[in-house]
Amino acid sequence: MKTIAIILAAGSGRRLGSDLPKQFLEVEGRQVIEYTLYAFEKCAAVDEICVVTHQHHIPEIKSIAIRNGFHKLRDVITGGADRFSSSRAALEFYANESPETIIMFHDSVRPLIAPGTIEECVKEMECHDAVALGTPSTDTIWVLDSQTNIREIPPRGNLYNAQTPQCFRLGQISEAYSRAAADSGFVATDDCGVLLRYAPKCKIHVVKGSADNLKITYKEDLSLLATLLKSRSLVHDKQDESILSNKI
């Protein structure tokens, strides 16, 4: 099965308080998205990469690909105003691919994903409808009412924090997105939510992720990323090669 990695990089970075989108900020000599792309470039299970970004940043993404020799990065397309629109734009772009093609959505601002983890997700697609990365919740979660009072405390044992990549077969996720687009009352926060709502017969298998697969959201996350990059720069695991090696 062909595997295409869709890197979602159209975010504006408003929560970070930066004029420059967080995926283009520089940490330890590289832009955040460079670390992300390197991981997918090095993963043998990924056949090609597509970046979804704002039209103004398309030349920069192409420049990054040339500078780093990212040969799997075949396409850079314009994203939408939100995650749902960007994911749908990618699905429409690949509409002529086989319905069995594996589509992996990944946040460009999760730069610490390891090639071995990506490969594990792809392998799990051999026996599951869809696969997503997640970590068990270590905190108690509160469900609040409209007055910000605690309404419910769900059992923590069944709660996971969603991560990416999230993997689907093109035909199934495209159909789910088409149905979601026709429902004006639906709000998607990730791609699994779309499949769960509009293709409920498809089972989404969760692969245990890592706390290191952090999502850059706030300024403090950039400092944490720099610390992790420094602490792992001398570590090289041949079985699960990290983007944190000195090879980038």
Give the pLDDT score at 17.
58
Strands 102-107 and 160-169: antiparallel
Residues 214 and 110: beta-carbon distance below 8 Å: yes
Nearest to residue 206, comparing CAs of 125, 138, 139?
125
State the Cα–Cα distance between residues 133 and 206, nearest whole angstrom.
Answer: 6
Model pLDDT, residue 187: 87
Which pTM value belongs to this model?
0.91
Do 112 and 35 meet the contact criterion of CB atoms below 8 Å apart? yes
Contacts of 131 (CB under 8 A, 6+ apart): 121, 124, 125, 166, 167, 204, 205, 206, 207
The pLDDT averaged over each successive group of 10 residues in the chain (248 residues) is 96 66 95 97 98 96 96 96 94 98 98 97 98 96 96 94 98 97 90 96 96 93 94 52 46
Q: Residue 239 has what pLDDT? A: 39
Q: Which residue has the tokens 């295409």?
A: 4
Distance CA 226, CA 245 (A): 13
